[in-house]
Amino acid sequence: MINDYENAEKSRSMFTEVYSQKRGTCITVVLLGIIIGIFAFAYITFGNDTIADSLRSNHTLKLVSIIIEHGQTAPKFTYPNDPHLNDSRWQSSLGELTKRGKQNMHSLGKFFRERYSALLPDLYFSSDIRVLSTNADTCLMSVAVALAGLYPPHKFQVWNPHVLWQPIPIKGISEEVDKMIGITQSCPSLPKKKKQIENIVTSGDVNLPKLYDFLSENTGAEIRNLSSVLALYNLILVQDKTNLPLPDWIPLVYPEKMLPYTIKALKLETGDAEITKLTTGVLLEKIISDMMKKSTRELSTKMFLYSGHEQSLFNIYSVLNGGKGRESSIKPEFASSVMIELHSVEDQNIVQAYYLNKPGKTPHSINITECGDPCLLENFIKFTKPFIPQDWTKACSM
């Protein structure tokens, strides 16, 4: 291979000489042919060389499933001692998507347009993309703005020159039957299992009761479990990002002291295989089934977009990265996303996953720890098997 490159280099200098001396077009054409041949040969050889290299190219990409977290929202709740309790600064009411949230989602959509331009043509064809969302307003609105960034109308699809937007269908899964993204369908064993895991991960932690006391005292609210710490953290986060003056006690615990517990809170839903089945299994099964159909060319869809919450995104990341959620230590930002890509390289189906923490940054590749490198689809199916529920409803009643 190195020889090929050397030859290519030699040929190139010969070509320059020959050309500059204008020794007849015939030689030039022949040499040009040889050079192109050598480069093509080198390219093919190089392409065979490492699968990782070919993965960087767009032409191997066949399908992508993307899980997104909605954009920034106004706080969902406040606490009794919150100095901003009655703040009218939010342009939207509690829990709703803010202006910045809309802007971030739009950037995210534009990022997908750029990254997946070779997969998805500029023109919208309904068979290319399927969009599913929880039925929460924030998720529906967020993905609608992202789609505006992904699919601005082009050419004959422009229907009003003053409105460079076009409608793209979004399927909202209603709360009573959502076992895929928001997990709002009734599942009695889920809170029980979550509590058990919480007891295990917090037992023996001498700092946690102190933190609970400190937070409860200062907020005037009952902060005595991990989910309350997470909710409070996210509330402070939004206030902080909006540059609201924060009370003096906050910098003593936010972000450093609270952060590890917010991550522990997020990890509960993938704490073991049983709970992962309930929280993440159905989505995982759907993503796998789509990849399998794509690999046997039974599927025309090229992109699936799932619009969910921080927890939805964290769960899928956690399964990919740590199998049982051990490794993951991300704290997703609003408008972050996980992209699961299916590539086809020399008849091998390879799964690659990426995490984008914030639109405008560079996505980083997720180490699918238990799958191997490259992560073959068959290995992916094997290692995720313990997380796929045979019967979700039954698992929920155990």
Site of interaction with ligand NAG (CB under 6 A): 56, 58, 61, 83, 85-86, 114-115, 118, 222, 224-225, 227-228, 367, 369
Of the candidates 224, 248, 244, the one whose C-alpha atom is nearest the C-alpha of residue 236 is 244
Shortest distance, position 351 Cβ to ligand NAG, whole Å: 13
Query: Both tokens of residue 277?
Result: 């089945």
Residue nearer to ligand NAG on the CB measure, 112 or 172: 112
- Residue 61 or 140: the one with the smaller Cβ distance to ligand NAG is 61
Cβ closer to ligand NAG: 38 or 61?
61
Q: How far is the CB of 14 from ligand NAG (least distance, A)?
A: 32
Three-state DSSP state, 106: helix
Q: How far is the CB of 31 from ligand NAG (least distance, A)?
A: 30
Q: Is 358 helix (H, G, I), strand (E, B) or coil?
A: coil
Please report which helix (H) or strand (E) contains residue 65, including its range: strand 61-69
Q: What are phi and psi of 221, to 5 degrees?
A: -115, 165
Per-residue tokens: 150: 């992904």
Which of 278, 369, 373, 265 shows the shortest CA–CA distance to 327?
369
Phi, psi at 379, each rounded to 5°: -70, -35
CB 279, CB 269: distance < 8 Å? yes
Toward ligand NAG, which CB reaches closer, 101 or 341?
A: 341
Shortest reach from residue 372's CB to ligand NAG, in Å: 9
DSSP secondary structure code for residue 360 in this structure: T
CB of 247 to ligand NAG, least distance (A): 11
Measured from the CB atom, is 329 or 367 closer to ligand NAG? 367
